[in-house]
Structure 1
Amino acid sequence: MEKDSIIGAVQNEKNREGVMKGYFGSMVAILATTMNAATAEDLFLPDAGLDAELSGFSVVPEVLTATRLKQPRSEVPGSMTVITAENIDQWGVRTLPELFRFVPGMFVKHGDQDSIAYHASNPNLMRRMQVLIDGRSVYRAGIASVVWEDIPVALEDIQRIEVFRGPNASSYGANAFMAVINIVTFHPADTLGTRAFARSGDQGVRDYEVSHSAELGEWFYRATVSRKHDDGFDGNERLGQSTVQPGDNLHDGSRDSFISLNATTQFSDQSRLLVEAAYKDGKQRLRQNFGEDEIAPVDENQSGFVMGQWQYDFSATHTTQLRAYWQKEKRLTEFRKCAPAVVLSPLLSQLYREDPYWANVIGRFDLPEELFVPIATGTANPADVESRLEEDLGRDYDISQSDLDQVQAIFAEAGFDVDNLSGTTCGNYDLDFDEQRIDVEFQDTVQWNDVLRTVAGVNFRRDEVTSETYFNGTVSNDLMRVFANAEIRPLDKLIFNLGGMYEDEDKNSAVFSPRAAANFLIAPQHSLRLVYSTAVRSPDLLEQEPDYSLQITDLTENYLGLTEGSLYATQTGAYGDLDHERITSWELGYYGRLPAYNLEMDIKVYRDHLYQLISDPINLNTPDVSSDTEMNLSGVDWQFTWQPSQIHSLWYSGAYIDADMKLGDVSSLSAREVRNLVRVETRLSSEFSHNLSWNFELGSWSFTQSYFWHRSYDSYGDQKLNPYRRYEAHLQKRWKLTNVELETSAFLHHLIDDEPIAYNTNRIEEKYLGYLHVGVRF
């Protein structure tokens, strides 16, 4: 980098730091002023008289997600972040993924489909994290991913979110690979009454929600109806990505509606039943480059589920639980695209089955023009063609005379006319699929004595997917699981957690995922922990049994005389027998809680070895997919929460991540493809990240400021800083009237940097965006 460039980069960094200081200078001033004005009763000092509402800070909070056993935070075998309903209300975000920006080491990508990664991962599909809603997995097994837009839960219905930051296959099986997000909703008895709100703002934000909770006989129930609308990103005008026209210029907006029901009853002091159901309907506009005769695709989706959970308490120390659910999803995505007619040639399809890379040279028009005539006339020399292709495309080829003869036949089919080969034809195709799941799980929890507690269970799951495009019909997978976790307390200050899960399924080999952890209690609310764990991610049905092809209909005129046909590139089980993705993780952590100062902290030092990763994109542009990428991740996560007075609270989290990639066999890849593959696993990651939020409460007013700073974002393999900085502010006011509470709020976010998130089109032209919220409760 030249000297002037370096000076310029440093100056930009200083300017950005000035912006940050400007935002938070006022925060510090207000904090200092209000704390100085506070009385002794307002301060959380050891001898201060604690307000009854706040004295709960002296109680160690308990979590369930880590081992399926309810445990104090100081005894959990791993790192946890807990997001409460109060946090959600203070931050003022409108979607689930936005909440996870506050979690140390987590990164969020928005677009036509949101994605979340912990430490580092491919942003295209969220497939290395388990997500549970009241115990129900929303992880899709057919095409591995979590589609956040399809989750029918209102933020206002969430009681808490427990995020286990680390592998947890010993409790939740394959796909609890790098983290587990467990979303727990309120009991209907805790939300009695009616609420309604409307939200409107920039980027086409239009949200509406109504919820009603009541008691009906022996039942408590809650019904929620929600609709959300936004236009996504609008691009960056100076980069030619947007226009002055209003609306969804990048075609990545969404329209989502759902209705959900939560009902529970208690048959006796020992027995209770929970029933949940929901139906969701939505449309996501898919960002594509489309021309004048093409139709931009819209992903229409309908999904629903029914779940029942019965719990029986034999005694205070013995509980059993049975959960069963059925869920179904249907997606309809139709395209009208145009392409050179040669891509529909049956002869090119035959060539692709024999040598996909050579076929792609023809199908993608990568053949140098000067080679066309020699190949068409049969005078080309295989060695000369091979040498020229390797020079131009940076890939090794093995061209034979037979290969040249087959291409000559393709040219002859077009009358040896280049215009025929490249002549455009347009047609329709779809990426439709139906997916459903049946899941039944039995769990038994016992406290045997003061030394030993256990939880054990069995689980059966069937996943079934129907798609003519992806599978040429219907495929299914049956999965059986057996799991157990034990908490052993040989000494008052020493706790061991041992657990594991064995899984056997149709499409993948059987696996066992263990975990061993030791927690040393320095004091009841202070502990050191050492954790060893392993986990796997099972290849999904598309990775293991693809029968992937595009059938094009309603074709316009073409030299082949076709009205319908098949794209030459297909995938018919060519991936085959991919191994499980695997991770081995070591963690050394500290958890501490100081009730006298209302301070809580969690620090984690880790080293993760990920191997057998499937980094190649699963699409028709990828002839070969392998599970041979390795990645080493090491670093530090930290999180601090502090309530210095009754009217102030602070949340600070962050992470340092050192990522090292090692690719497997790249002999069939071009230099450009190798570079892209190196970046793909770290595109949604940052070397340094800081997340700071301050809340100020005064009577019926609440004001929250949040600041996010990611340094070296998506910069693996280059020297750019790639900063991502974002400021958010949320102002609330509530009015309590007779039997009615009115609430209003304003939310503002400011993007400080021009750098996109993961992809170049993930930009917003307007740096200041906001929305207004008006609601009522009664």
Structure 2
Amino acid sequence: MPILLRTSTAPSLTCIPLLLTAIGLASPARAASPSEADHLGDLPVVLSATRLAQVQSDAPGAVSIIDRAMISASGARNLNELFRLVPGFQVGMHTGNKPLVGYHGLSDEAPRRMLVQVDGRSVYSPYFTAGVEWNQIGVDIDDIERIEVFRGSNSATYGSNAFLGVANIITRAPAETLGTRVRYRAGDGGVNDIGLRVGRQLGDVAMRLSVARNFDHGFAGLNDWRKTELATLHTQWAADSDNSIEFQAGWTHSNLGTGKEDNPTDPERRSQTTTSFGLIHWHHAPAPGEELSVSYYHQEENGRDNFDLLVPVTSRQSGLPFAVQLPLRFDYDFHVIRDDLEVQRITTLAPSLRAVVGAGMRVDRITAPLRFNTSDSIRNAVNHAFGTLEWRASPRWLFNVGAMIEDNSLTGRSFAPRASANYHVSDSQTWRISVNRSHRNPVAFEQKSSMIFSTSAPVSTPIGTLPAGTPISQTFRPSPGVRAERITTYELGYRAELRPLHASLDARVFLEQARDLIEMNIEPSTIGLLRRNNNRYFANSGEADIRGLELAATWRPATDTWLQLNHTELRIDGPTISAADAARRPSGWVEYTAPRHSTTLFGAWRFAPRWQISAAKHWIGFMSWYQDADHKVPMYRQLDVRLAHRLPPALARGELAITASNIDGPEETYAPGTSVWGSRVFGSLSLEL
């Protein structure tokens, strides 16, 4: 069966002509595919760079692959941890249940400049300030086949959210996970995880049901415990040799500890988030090099975090001649509905010419009264059309051009082009040059936020009664003039596949010019009893020039034995601004938002028929998550080690493993003194029945 590629985007009836046009433009030419099998050989094929199946040396940018063997050997419990294994990424923990993942800096406590997909379903959440809610991705780590990471901007293929990179999480086909598998994991920090997977083949239908629960206590001294539960159903029906239909459904529920001890407006409490989705994907492949696919998914997300407090206000704070206790309702509840439809056509126009075209439409409806100061839903519709043309001009030269047009109801129309040329010096060495323009549309919160806290009941005072609903304080005001961010990327790449040595080398030098970056600024408030001097709003006040070098060298003589070295040199230059401006806006500190030097050494060794040892060592330079220079995270080192034993078949089919994470000492990955991540040791047992 052909490899499926599913991507996301979005609905409004105005986009239906685009869908029909995309199908018509890619008429079912039956030209035979060029001798691609000879060209690809036994090299890994990636799907995420252009939506066409390509070897890494043909992609218009650098692509890293984390396969199933690497995921297992890493000992990772959570998806975010795996991005430590990719050059150029920054991974931190704001608290024990709030992961942070960024690429090339420009991040804060809610990184939002990278797109993450699961089987083509976008898990980018353009609702509030965060781009990816890592606790709500809704895929069990044991069900992942591989993760493809496109290192760099790629709006030409995936739209506005692919501003600094794209991660496509591809799960295993249900037919490859038949039988029953159970997993149990326990250890330090209250780690207590269980998982169950059941796979069945019913005629032409393969199906997999996975359920899991992960629990831990978080960091010592913080109310940041986490319990995440999920259930997913994945089915594939091979209707005939040309057609297949895939259905997925999932549910994820997270209970998280949040708040701070002795904080009058942010007390310790529990928050809850529930995400559910259903996806259907039809794939039609009538001939080699010819594919038509249609996908649709519906997703709902509900958040529950509300509480009542009596907040003491002094006369100095309010300007009134007396102190008062104000009853306030803190209601951060939200409800989000997303509908997403996309059609895509891959065709072979000539023996040396391939194309992919498509269009889609997405609608998000967001209800969050406190965040937007309205009980009405905020609606955001995005329509898009895209196309990519790949021309193999000769055995040495490969050219790729692509573009996407988006129409966003919040920000209007945008255009994202890309062009690249790959020169194959030999069968084992390739040079690549590419340039692209990408953008990131503001999320609804960045443009329409209006957070005003009001009294939840009448308040008697010496000068009269304050009625319920009296505005007390404003913390965010709307920013209707916010525009899309822009980034132009220039890249020179080199890739060597030294197959006789079982080795590969990938190098990339780049310049990324980001303009109109959306930043949080502050000003005095004009609304409410408490006149604050730090009311927040968003503006296109930032810019950055990001330049650097990424190296990835791998020696892999066997699937379960390898040594991989990643190194990144990164420099970020921000605008030249005055000290007064620097105190008001963060763009003067963008240079600190990624470490200048970072190195990872990751290896595994199958030293006996049923034994494997693996280790990852990270050297990370100092950085700051969009904070001032006084809050830079110091450089740190991290060592993770895992020892695994495949059980003897006579005893049981399964694996027993022990993982020691961060065993070389506690580290601070977000801000000094706010959260300390210590060592953690846990064991796991998995059995296949």
Q: Distance in 2 between matches of 1:592 and 1:130?
A: 27
- Kept in 2: contact 1:57–1:598 (CA 8 A): no
Alignment of 1:118-137 (within 5 A): 118-137=103-122
Q: State the distance in 2 between where 1:209 and 1:714 align.
A: 36
Instruction: Identify the residue that residue 494 of structure 2 maps to in structure 1.
Output: 590
Instruction: Specify the SS of the correspondent of 1:276.
Output: strand
Q: Does 1:457 pair with 2:370?
A: no
CA contact (8 A) 2:521 2:584 kept: no
CA shift for structure 1 position 123: 2.8
Question: Are 1:257 and 2:229 an aligned pair?
Answer: yes
How far apart, in 2, do the equivalents of 1:140 and 1:618 lie? 24
1:684 Cα deviation after fit: 4.8
Secondary structure at 1:161 match in 2: strand
Deviations 1:540-596 (A, max 9, x none): 111222333234436887667447445533378631121101100000000111111
- CA 1:719/1:311 → structure 2, altered by over 3 Å: closer, same or farther? closer
Q: Which amino acid aligns with 2:684?
A: H
* Residue 142 (structure 1) shift: 1.8
Task: Identify the residue that residue 684 of structure 2 maps to in structure 1.
Answer: 773
1:435 is aligned to 2:336: yes
- Residue in 2 aligned with 1:93? 76
Aligned to 2:47: 64
Deviation at 1:333, TM superposition (A): 0.9
Separation of aligned partners in 2, 1:761 and 1:153: 33
Deviation at 1:672, TM superposition (A): 4.0
CA gap 1:251/1:555 in 2 versus in 1, 3 angstroms:
farther
Quote the Cα distance in structure 1 between the aligned partners of 2:330 and 2:265.
14
Structure-2 residue corresponding to 1:724: 636
Q: Report whether the alignment pairs 1:576 with 2:480.
A: yes
RMSD: 2.7
Residue type at the aligned position of 1:224? S
After TM superposition, the structure 1 = structure 2 runs for residues 614-629 of structure 1, keeping only pairs within 5 Å, are 614-616=518-520, 621-629=534-542
Cα distance per residue 1:12-56 (max 9 Å; x no partner): xxxxxxxxxxxxxxxxxxxxxxxxxxxxxxxxxxxxxxxxxxxx9
Checking the alignment, whether the CA contact within 8 Å between 1:294 and 1:336 is kept in structure 2 is no
- Paired residue for 2:136? 150
Equivalents in 1 of 2:328, 2:631: separation in Å? 44
TM-score, normalised with respect to structure 2: 0.86
- CA distance in 2 between counterparts of 1:695 and 1:517 reads 35
Q: Which string of whole-angstrom CA distances, capped at 9 and with x for unpartnered residues, describes residues 463-508 of structure 1?
A: 1101111221211011110000010111210111100000012111
- What residue number does 2:57 align with? 74
Q: Quote the residue 1:375 is aligned against.
A: none
- The residue that corresponds to 2:299 in the other structure is 327
Shifted more, 574-583 versus 614-623: the winner is 614-623
Larger strand share, 1 or 2: 2
Give the secondary structure class of the aligned counterpart of 2:622.
strand
Distance 1:328 1:741, change over 3 A: same
- Structure 1 residue 195: Cα displacement: 0.6
Structure 2 counterpart of 1:25: none
What is the one-letter code of the residue matched to 1:192?
L
Aligned partners of 1:261 and 1:646: how far apart in 2?
29
Equivalent residue for 1:608? 512
Please give the alpha-carbon distance, in whole angstroms, between the structure 2 residues aligned to 1:739 and 1:457.
52
Q: Report the equivalent of 2:619.
A: 709
SS in structure 2 at match of 1:486:
strand
Q: Report matched runs for 1:262-277 at 5 Å.
A: 262-277=234-249
**Percent identical across equivalent pairs?**
26
Equivalent of 2:165 in 162, 172, 179: 179
Read off the aligned partner of 1:725 and give its amino acid letter: R
Give the SS at the match of 1:87: helix
Report the counterpart of residue 138 of structure 1 in structure 2.
Answer: 123
Cα deviation for residue 738 of structure 1 reads: 4.9
Q: How much has 1:336 moved relative to structure 2?
A: 4.2
What is the alpha-carbon distance in structure 2 between the residues aligned to residue 506 and residue 721 of structure 1?
Answer: 39
Partner of 1:353: none
* 1:695 alignment counterpart: 604
Q: 8 Å contact 2:429–2:495 — kept in the other structure? A: yes
Q: Deviations over 1:614-658 (max 9, x none)?
A: 121699943442112001110101111102578741011120100
Answer yes or no: is the 8 Å Cα contact 2:659–2:681 preserved in 1. yes
Cα gap change, 1:583 to 1:294, in 2 (>3 Å): closer
Q: 2:284 corresponds to which letter in structure 1?
A: Y
Aligned match of 1:221: 207
CA distance in 1, matches of 2:554, 2:502: 8
Is residue 298–residue 340 contact of structure 2 (8 Å, CA) maintained in 1?
A: yes
Tell whether the 8 Å contact from 2:265 to 2:311 is kept in structure 1 after alignment: no
Aligned to 1:469: 370
Q: Which residue of 2 aligns with 1:392?
A: none
Q: Residue deviations 1:166-223, cap 9 Å, x none?
A: 0000000001000000000010111111111111111111111000111123210000
Structure 1 residue identity aligned to 2:597: F
**CA contact 2:574–2:587 (8 Å) conserved in 1:** no
C-alpha separation in 2, matches of 1:630 and 1:751: 38
State whether residues 664 and 679 of structure 2, in contact with CA within 8 Å, keep that contact through their aligned partners in structure 1: no
Q: By how many angstroms is 1:665 displaced?
A: 9.3
Q: Could you tell me which amino acid in structure 1 is paired with residue 274 of structure 2?
A: Q
Please tell me whether the aligned partners of residues 335 and 430 of structure 1 are also in contact (alpha carbons under 8 angstroms). Answer: yes
Name the CA shift for 1:714/1:270 in 2 (closer, same or farther; >3 Å).
Answer: same
Which residues in structure 2 correspond to 1:473-622 (within 5 Å)? 473-553=376-456, 561-562=465-466, 564-570=468-474, 574-616=478-520, 621-622=534-535
Q: Which amino acid aligns with 2:151?
A: R
User: Which residue does 1:657 correspond to in 2?
Assistant: 570
Aligned residue in 1 for 2:661:
749
Q: Secondary structure of the equivalent of 1:225?
A: strand
User: What SS does structure 2 have at the residue aligned with 1:88?
Assistant: helix
Amino acid at match of 1:690: T
Local SS of the residue matching 2:84? helix
Partner Cα distance (1:311, 1:646) in 2: 30
SS at match of 1:543: helix
Cα drift, residue 763 of structure 1: 3.5
Match of 2:87 among 97, 104, 109: 104
* Closer, same or farther: CA 755–566 of 1 in aligned 2, 3 Å: farther
Deviations 1:435-456 (A, max 9, x none): 1110000000001112210000
**Structure 1, unaligned runs of 5 or more:** 1-55, 235-248, 344-361, 366-409
Secondary structure at the counterpart of residue 146 of structure 1: coil
SS for the counterpart of 2:647 is strand
Q: Among residues 737, 741, 746, which one is paired with 2:649 in the alignment?
A: 737
**Range that drifts further, 259-268 or 561-570:** 561-570
Q: Distance in 2 between matches of 1:293 and 1:88?
A: 40
1:586 maps to a residue whose letter is Y
Give 1:165's aligned residue. 151
CA shift, 1:318, in A, is 1.3
Q: Structure 2: which amino acid aligns with 1:71?
A: Q
Conservation of the 8 A alpha-carbon contact between 1:295 and 1:336: no
**Contact 1:735-1:742 within 8 A present in 2 as well:** yes
Contact 1:429 1:552 in 2 (8 A): no
1:685 aligns with 2:556: no
Greater CA deviation, 175-184 or 705-714? 705-714
- Quote the Cα distance in structure 2 between the aligned partners of 1:555 and 1:732: 63
Show CA shifts across 1:129-152 (max 9, x none). 111100000111222421010011
Count of aligned residue pairs for this structure pair: 633
Distance in 2, matches of 1:217 and 1:684, equals 53
Alignment partner for residue 116 of structure 1, among 101, 107, 115?
101
Partner-residue secondary structure (3-state), 1:469: helix
Contact 1:724 1:753 survives alignment (8 Å): no
One-letter identity of the residue aligned with 2:614: T
AA in 2 matched with 1:220: A
Is the 2:259–2:266 Cα contact (8 Å) retained in structure 1?
Answer: no
Q: Distance in 2 between matches of 1:693 and 1:57?
A: 26
Corresponding residue SS for 1:149: helix
Matches within 5 A, 1:8-407: 59-110=42-93, 111=95, 112-144=97-129, 145-234=131-220, 249-291=221-263, 295-337=267-309, 339-341=311-313, 365=317
Offset, 1:262 = 0.2
